[in-house]
Chains A and B, each alone.
Chain A
Amino acid sequence: MERQEIIDGLVEILRTVRTIDPEKLKNVTEETDVIADLNTPSTELINIAAKAEQKFDVEFEDDDIDNMGSKVKDIVDLVIKVKERA
Chain B
Amino acid sequence: MDLQGRRVAVVGMGGAFPTCSDLNDFSDKLFSNKSLIRVWDQAVAHDKQVRSKVSAYITDAEMNLETIYSTIVANYPETYVDLLQRIPPGNLSTADMGSIWAMLGAKDAIKMAGWSAEETQSEGTGVVIGSGGCGHALLRPAWHHVFELGGKSRSPGAHTVDRAMVYREAANVSCLIKNRGVCEAVASACATGLGNIGYAYRLIKFGVQDRVVAGGVETTSIESLFGFDAMQVLSRGFPPEESSRPFDMNRNGFVCSFGAGIVCLEEYEMAKARGANILGVIDSYFNNSDGDGDMFYPSFGGQRRLWKGLLGNSGIKPDVVKVHGTSTPAGDPIELFSVVDVLGEEGYHISAPKSQFGHMLGAAGAVEFITALLMLKQQAVLPCLNSVDLNPELENIQKADTWNGPRSPMQSFRHLLPQQSFKKEINTIACLNYGFGGTNSAILLSKDNS
Q: How far is the CA of A47 from the CA of B78 in the complex (A)?
A: 9
Instruction: Tell me how far the C-beta of A24 lies from the nearest C-beta in chain B, rounded to whole angstroms.
Output: 13
A27: interface (CB < 8 Å)? no
B159: interface (CB < 8 Å)? yes
Q: For A49, list chain B residues within 8 Å (CB).
A: 154
Cβ–Cβ contact A18 & B154, under 8 A: no
B158: interface (CB < 8 Å)? yes
Number of interface residues of A (CB under 8 A): 13
Q: For A19, list chain B residues within 8 Å (CB).
A: 89-90, 93
Q: How far is the CA of A29 from the CA of B81 in the complex (A)?
A: 27
**Helix, strand, loop or mixed for chain A's interface?**
helix
Q: How far is the CA of A16 from the CA of B158 in the complex (A)?
A: 15
Q: How far is the CA of A54 from the CA of B81 in the complex (A)?
A: 23
Cβ–Cβ contact B159 & A18, under 8 A: no
Q: For B72, list chain A residues within 8 Å (CB).
A: 50-51, 54
B64: interface (CB < 8 Å)? no
Q: For B155, list chain A residues within 8 Å (CB).
A: 50
Q: Which of A43, A49, A50 has the most CB of B within 10 A?
A: A50
Cβ–Cβ contact B157 & A46, under 8 A: yes
Q: For A65, list chain B residues within 8 Å (CB).
A: 154
- The contact string, 1 if C-beta is below 8 Å from chain A, for chain B 288-306, is 0000000000000000000
Q: How far is the CA of A49 from the CA of B152 in the complex (A)?
A: 12
Contact A18:B157 (CB < 8 A) given known A50-B72, A51-B72, A54-B71: no
A–B pairs, 9, beta carbons within 8 Å: A16-B78, A18-B89, A19-B93, A44-B158, A47-B158, A50-B72, A51-B71, A54-B71, A54-B72
Instruction: With A18-B81, A41-B93, A47-B78 given, name 16 new contacts (CB 8 A).
Output: A18-B68, A18-B79, A18-B92, A19-B89, A19-B90, A41-B90, A43-B158, A43-B159, A44-B158, A46-B157, A49-B154, A50-B154, A50-B155, A50-B157, A51-B71, A65-B154
